[in-house]
Amino acid sequence: MTNYEIVSQIIKERRSIFPASYIKKEISVEVINQILESANYAPTHKLTQPWRFTVIRKAGLKKLGEELGRLYQSHISPQQFLQKKYDSFAEKTGHADCIIAIQMAVSGKVPEWEELAAVSCAVQNMALTAESLKVGAYWSSPPLIDHLGEFLSLDENEKCIGLFYMGYHNEKPWMPNRSSMEEKVKWIEE
């Protein structure tokens, strides 16, 4: 197989694998580090390298679930509170073997959207690497992430922009729901 064929296959097979599909199998620190290392090669304007990550494992997962539940309860009115939603935070974090908090350091050297684009590219590298290692992954971005700064010990210029759930799984591959590229591309040649 050529490099193009390998990369193309991994890109086409990558899917969001949700925590309910994860099996109880530990992801080694070595595998987590391989996934994180691939993030470091994302494109970055002016080399700001704005991606930052906090790895949450083992007892940290329970603490994250409790914190998300606490944040939900403190930011929702009693009339809108749903016990099922509250319970879902502990359940979802409990299914994952590892969650990586995705953070962005805003440098002020480039527009903030460029920092966000760089971090997004870093996360795509992580997702593709996870797929190649047969680790299921899912980028979640609930509104509560805006309030995780203290839990994650973020610096003043940092923001949490998502949670990258990971776990081994037994999901069978499925075809993606994508329309044709011809519908999305224009050519200008003259």
List alpha helices for 26-141, DSSP H: 29-39, 59-75, 83-95, 112-132
Residue 184 lies inside a defined structural domain of this protein: no
Residue 185 lies inside a defined structural domain of this protein: no
For residue 81, the domain's CATH number is 3.40.109.10
Q: What is the pLDDT of residues 113-150, one digit of tens each?
A: 999 999 999 999 999 999 999 999 999 998 899 999 99
Residue 51 lies inside a defined structural domain of this protein: yes
Torsion of Cα atoms, 164 then 166 then 170 then 175, to 10°: 20
Q: What is the pLDDT of residues 44-103, one digit of tens each?
A: 999 999 999 999 999 999 999 999 999 999 999 889 988 998 899 999 999 999 999 999
Q: How many domains would you assign to the chain?
A: 1
Domain region containing 144: 16-167
As to burial, measured by CB atoms within 10 angstroms (0-12 exposed, 13-18 middle, 19+ buried), residue 74 is exposed
